Amino acid sequence: MENNTSEFLLWEFSKIWELQIMHMSLLLILYLMTVMWNLLIISAVVCDHHLHIPMYFFLTNLAMQDIGSVSAIIPKTLFNFLTNIRTISHSGCVAQVLFLLFFLSCDISLLTVMAYDRYVAICNPLHYETIMNRKTCTNMIAGVWTASFLNASLHTTVTFMIPFCSNNVNQFFCEIPYLLKIACSDLYVTEIGFQIFSAMLATGCFAFIIITYVYVFSAVLRIPSDQGRKKAFSTCLPHLVVFFIFLFTCCLAYLKPIADSESHPNFIITLMYSIIPSMLNPLIYSMRNKDIKFAISRLFGQKLLFF
């Protein structure tokens, strides 16, 4: 096949109109729910000065990154459907890979920072305000965004330096594993090496989170009052649930073999790691956190029924 990489041909959901409508409706509903719920979390934290503390500052950043990760892929997919096209330009594909990797890297880094925040708050509460001051929190977030952008830029640059033997990407958006599948040069081994290195860094982050929570829960169990233990668990459990959802869906997506042709089961798996975690994160935090629930209620000026 002629190497035409001025544009890429994305996976077609189905040739049956009714199935296309079903897929697009599902994507649109999930996208709107994700954006709406994360914007709700951001608005609640911004408008309630009681929540202007490090934990909710990090949560706001997580919500922004969740909106960014789904916005990197879903709007283009919906636009292609409405205009009845399957292609994405070379520059559009580059941008999609860059931003998706950037926001996913931010998620991993930020979950690690949030684990450290919970460790300091529970294991060293008397020095919490000194350690997690405004400058420290700002520097942490700046480090997360900078390191994530450099990581995404490196992977994107190496990936698109590789010549492609085909322009047919068996995925409904541009994703590095599927792009490497159509590479026709041994240079793709370089990118695989970078991916292994990134996976090792991510594994280090996950190990840090697990070890941190071993110390955190040991400290929580030593709290004498039941109310104190419940309050500590209410701030830790949502973060831990979000972490395990992210870990499970990423392993499910990236440890499976890349098929020669995309299928509907693979589409479901893709949804599970690219959209579902971003949609569930604000729900998990709002359901388990009384401060967030109260802030959302105040935002609407009334007690919400589901709270």
| Band of pLDDT at residue 38, cut at 50, 70 and 90 | very high
Q: In this structure, what token pair is assigned to residue 43? A: 């608005």
Mean pLDDT of the region 166-191: 78
Report the predicted TM-score, pTM, of the whole model to 2 decimal places. Answer: 0.84
- What is the distance between the alpha carbons of residues 252 and 111, in angstroms, rounded to a whole number? 19
C-beta atoms surrounding 63 within 10 Å: 25
pLDDT, one tens digit per residue, over 40-53 is: 889 888 888 888 88
Question: Which position has the token pair 């990936």?
Answer: 159
Report the pLDDT value the prediction gives residue 3, as an integer from 0 to 100: 44
What pLDDT is stored for residue 258 in this prediction?
A: 59
With tokens 């892929």, the residue in question is 73
**5 and 182 in contact (C-beta within 8 Å)?**
no
- 222 pLDDT higher than 90: no
